Structure 1
Amino acid sequence: MARVAVVVRAGAAPLWWTGLLAAGVGLLVPGLTGRRIGVLAGAALFLIAAAAVGWTGFRRYAELAGSATRAARHDLLQDRAVTLRAWRRGHLWWLGAALLLAVGSSFVLPSAVGMLLAGAGVGLWWKADRIGRRESADGVLLWVRTDRLNARGGRPAGATVPEYRTTGQGAGDAAPGGARRRAHA
C-alpha cells in the first residue's frame, strides 16, 4: 500500500525542476513573440496550471477519504522512497518529452511552457498539502493499494481505485501531506 499524498507529491519536484530548466533555457532564446510576452504569458499559465492541478479531482479524493476503511494487519505499507522511485521511473519518458516540448516551444513563446510545467508542480504540492491537512484533521493516514495504483499510470484517485485504507498517524515514514517525516531529537 502506498501513501496517497506521497503519490500525488511524487510528480511535483520533477515537474517544478523540469519547468524551471525549460523556462531558463527559454530566456536565452528571443523567440517569435519576444521574451517579455513569453514571460508574461508564462506567468499567467503558471497561475492557471497551479490552480487547475490543485483543484482538479479533489472531490474524488474527498469521496474516497470519506469512505476509507481501516487497513488490515496483512497489508504491507510501502516506504516513501519506494513510492517516489516507482512513480518517477514510470513517468520518466513523459518528463523528458515535456522538457523537449517546453524547450522547443521557446522558439515561439519563450519560457511559457516551462512556467506551465512549474505551475503544475506547484499545483501537485498544493494538492498533497490539502490531502495532508485532511489527514491531520481526521487523525488518519490515507493509503491506496499499489496494484490498483499501477493499473493506469499511477493516479491515486483514478477509476481503478475503488477505496482507500487508513492507518494511524504514526504509520509509515512520511508525514501528513507526503513530506519526509522529521526525526524528533
Structure 2
Amino acid sequence: MARGGQGLARVAVVVRAGAAPLWWCGVLAAGIGVLLPGLTGRRIGVLAGTALFLVTAAVVAYWRRKRYDALVRSAARAGKHDVLQDRAVTVRNWRRGHRWWLLLAFAAALGSSFAVPAAGGMLLAGAGVGLWWKAARLGRLERAGQALIWVRVDWLGPRAGAPVGKPVRAVRATGVAAGDAAPGGARRH
C-alpha cells in the first residue's frame, strides 16, 4: 500500500458475511428447540418464532438504511494505489472477529428453547435472512450506479459493528469489474 493506498473491503460482502452463520445457527437451534416441549408448548413456540423471524428479518434489512444510502451517494472514486481485499478474506476476517458472539447467540437461542421452543433459533435465522436482504439491496444500488462500494479495512475493527458504523466517514467506489465478488457480495460466476 505504497503512496497512500489503503486496504478496502466490499461493503456488501461485510454485510453478507454474517448471514450464513446466523441462518445456520438459527436453523440448528430451532431444530433442536422443537424437540423440547418447553414451558409454552411447541405450537406456541413455533408461532412465536415465526413472528420473531418475520419481524427480525424486516428490522435487520431496514436498519441504518438512510446511512447506507447517504454513504453510497457520496462515494469517492478509489485510488489506483488502493488494495482491494478478496471476498474470502473479508468473510473470514468478519467470522473470526465475531465467532464468540455467534457462539453466544447460538447458546442463548438454544437455552431459550426450554421456555419457548424454537423461537430463539427462528429469531437468529431471521437476522440472517435480513442480512441477505440488505446485501441484495446494496447489490441493486451498485448495479444502478454501475459502481461497487468499498470501505477502509482499518475502519472495520471489532468494535465498529457494521460497515457503516461510527468510525466509517466515507466509502469508495470502483467499477463493477473490480474485485472477485458480484454486486451484492455474492461470489462472481
Q: Same fold (TM over 0.5)?
A: yes
Candidates 75, 79, 85, aligned match of 1:78: 85
Aligned to 1:45: 52
Identity percentage over the alignment?
66
Candidates 53, 65, 71, aligned match of 1:64: 71
Counterparts of 2:81 and 2:161, CA distance in 1: 23
What is the one-letter code of the residue matched to 1:104? G
1:1-185 correspondence to structure 2 within 5 Å:
1-150=8-157, 152-182=159-189
- Comparing 91-100 and 142-151, the one that deviates more: 142-151
Counterparts of 2:14 and 2:105, CA distance in 1: 19
Matched residues, number: 182
CA contact (8 A) 1:152 1:160 kept: no
What is the one-letter code of the residue matched to 2:94? W
TM-score under structure 2 normalisation? 0.95
Counterparts of 1:173 and 1:154, CA distance in 2: 24
- Which ranges of structure 1 fall in alignment gaps of 5 or more residues? none
Counterparts of 2:184 and 2:117, CA distance in 1: 33
- Which ranges of structure 2 fall in alignment gaps of 5 or more residues? 1-7
Q: CA deviation at 1:154?
A: 4.3
Q: CA deviation at 1:153?
A: 3.8
CA contact (8 A) 1:149 1:156 kept: yes
Q: What value does the CA root-mean-square deviation take over the aligned residues?
A: 0.7
